[in-house]
Structure 1
């Protein structure tokens, strides 16, 4: 089989599997929410609510039907791209909540990954280039510690040090409540302020973004440090690297131009999947820093038993992970021909 046909077969198979994965996520979310102990109507309205109000809410949620009937209706609703309407925010659909809060989550995720990749790759290269030294051991310890720390504990510790004691950064939120945030079509404050030439607002947005992105980015950087260090050490021991050394090529050029490029191939997969998971998994960071993103909104919806919002947001996050996984697999298939077979 030629490389072109192998690549076409691989992409087709991944495209056919994507809808199956999305359907599995939808089904699991549907069943798990309904397997939760207790009556969601009682959780929302309370045990002392009038029976008429309870019945009306059951009809609104579709809970007066059989489980199969609810499932079929919900699948039909999703096929119309209707994620439902929030119970706690009357008149607000889940899509409107996503439109309002998703840009904040994207912005936090992008800057956190920027910190994670910069710190992780830099430390990984330094540790791999000095294998067996104290710097290598320090890189190992760094990756273990950052991977093990709970994000909420690290966030509160950094808040205590840099916001409360040193007063270098704000405790939380995305922009000062007394000021008008940057206006633009993207909803990303840093990008909108940059496009409009409002550099004062850009500085303010970066100022409020620094502490939460550093917290999440540093905790993620250990993953990239470990991957780069291990893959780069293996690459530096390869035959073609030894051959390059024998030809008198400088060590720095071998490291950056030959070994690092091949060592970064697995990092691309982790980077894409980490980005996708962060879009739905930065809940603790957003709650700790009062960041008005979708993770914080999901936490509020769970606390308030807003089942349509919880269900819609979880499916939205699940679809993002599936799509990003598909894109990363296709990119890796182009970069590394071995994946096609």
Structure 2
């Protein structure tokens, strides 16, 4: 089988398996929500509400039906692309909640991933180009520490140092309270402020974005640092690199043109696997910094026992992870002709 045919077969298989993976996510979230203690009627109406009112609410929400019937009804909604109505945001559907909060999460994850890639690749490349030195040991230590630190703890330490003690950055939120936010075009404050030509709003948005994206980026930078350092070390010891040195090619050119290019191939693969970690990290970061994104909204929905919102957001995140993994596989196959499926 030719490489192009094999790749087409692999992508088709992944696409056909995507509904199965999403069904697994839907089923697990559905069962876990109903296995945990708590009653949505109590969360919505309060513990002191009359029992008759609570029972009427359960009937209206379908929570009094048998579990298997609730499950089948929800699967039917998913098939119709109907995520239901939010219980904690009266008058809003789950799709409207996602559209309202997702741009903030996109902005945070985009800048956080940028910090992770730049810092992780930079430190990993510098450590690998100085093997056996203090820089190599420092790079190894950097990867271990950043990978193992709890994200919420690191975010609170940043808040304590840079917000409370030094006063350089705000404690949280996305924009100053009472200030006019950028005109909504894409929902991304930094991009919208640039598109409308408002430099002041752009700098303000970056100021509020700095600590959250640095916290999220540091968490992921350790993954990239370790991958780049290990693979670049192996690449720089390969025969074709030694041959390039023998021809008198400058070391800097060897590092970037020969070593780093090949060392980044496994990093791109890991990038796809990092999407799920990135979304999970975004939830913790948004809660820590009161960032009004989809992760923070998911946390609130879990606290309020808002079944439709939790299930809808998790399905939405699941679609993103599945789609991103397929795209990364395509990119990886394109840049590395040696890959076979």
Work out whether the TM-score is over 0.5: yes
Match of 1:269?
269
| Equivalences for residues 207-222 of structure 1 within 5 A | 207-222=207-222
Q: Provide closer, same or farther for how the CA distance between residues 62 and 281 of structure 1 changes in structure 2, counting only shifts above 3 A.
A: farther
Q: Is the CA contact (8 Å cut-off) linking 1:276 and 1:324 kept in structure 2?
A: no
Match of 2:186?
186
| Equivalences for residues 23-172 of structure 1 within 5 A | 23-172=23-172
- CA separation in 1, counterparts of 2:333 and 2:60? 46
Displacement after TM superposition at 1:337 (Å): 3.7
Q: Structure 1, unaligned stretches of length 5 or more?
A: none
Match of 1:240?
240
Q: Provide closer, same or farther for how the CA distance between residues 84 and 236 of structure 1 changes in structure 2, counting only shifts above 3 A.
A: same
TM-score, normalised via structure 2 length: 0.95
- CA separation in 2, counterparts of 1:281 and 1:208? 18
- CA separation in 1, counterparts of 2:325 and 2:339? 14
Q: Provide closer, same or farther for how the CA distance between residues 245 and 106 of structure 1 changes in structure 2, counting only shifts above 3 A.
A: same
Q: Structure 2, unaligned stretches of length 5 or more?
A: none
- CA separation in 1, counterparts of 2:323 and 2:55? 38
Displacement after TM superposition at 1:38 (Å): 4.4
- CA separation in 2, counterparts of 1:271 and 1:155? 23
- CA separation in 1, counterparts of 2:22 and 2:245? 49
Q: Is the CA contact (8 Å cut-off) linking 1:10 and 1:340 kept in structure 2?
A: no
Deviations 1:19-45 (A, max 9, x none): 111111111111221222344434544
Q: Is the CA contact (8 Å cut-off) linking 2:193 and 2:202 kept in structure 1?
A: yes
| Equivalences for residues 14-25 of structure 1 within 5 A | 14-25=14-25
Match of 2:201?
201
- CA separation in 2, counterparts of 1:196 and 1:277? 33
| Equivalences for residues 280-319 of structure 1 within 5 A | 280-319=280-319
Q: Is the CA contact (8 Å cut-off) linking 1:109 and 1:275 kept in structure 2?
A: no
TM-score, normalised via structure 1 length: 0.95
SS in 2 for 1:83: coil
Match of 1:325?
325
- CA separation in 1, counterparts of 2:105 and 2:249? 45
Q: Is the CA contact (8 Å cut-off) linking 1:173 and 1:290 kept in structure 2?
A: yes
Displacement after TM superposition at 1:226 (Å): 0.6
Q: Is the CA contact (8 Å cut-off) linking 1:113 and 1:275 kept in structure 2?
A: no
- CA separation in 1, counterparts of 2:152 and 2:208? 17
Match of 2:13?
13
SS in 2 for 1:264: helix
Displacement after TM superposition at 1:67 (Å): 2.1
- CA separation in 2, counterparts of 1:46 and 1:199? 46
- CA separation in 1, counterparts of 2:338 and 2:62? 49
> Which runs of structure 1 show a deviation greater than 6 angstroms over 4 or more consecutive aligned residues?
none
Displacement after TM superposition at 1:332 (Å): 1.5
- CA separation in 2, counterparts of 1:14 and 1:177? 45
Deviates more, 1:16-25 or 1:186-195: 16-25
- CA separation in 1, counterparts of 2:168 and 2:199? 20
Q: Is the CA contact (8 Å cut-off) linking 1:130 and 1:136 kept in structure 2?
A: yes
Deviates more, 1:65-74 or 1:44-53: 44-53
- CA separation in 1, counterparts of 2:157 and 2:277? 24
Deviations 1:291-323 (A, max 9, x none): 111111111111122222111111111111111
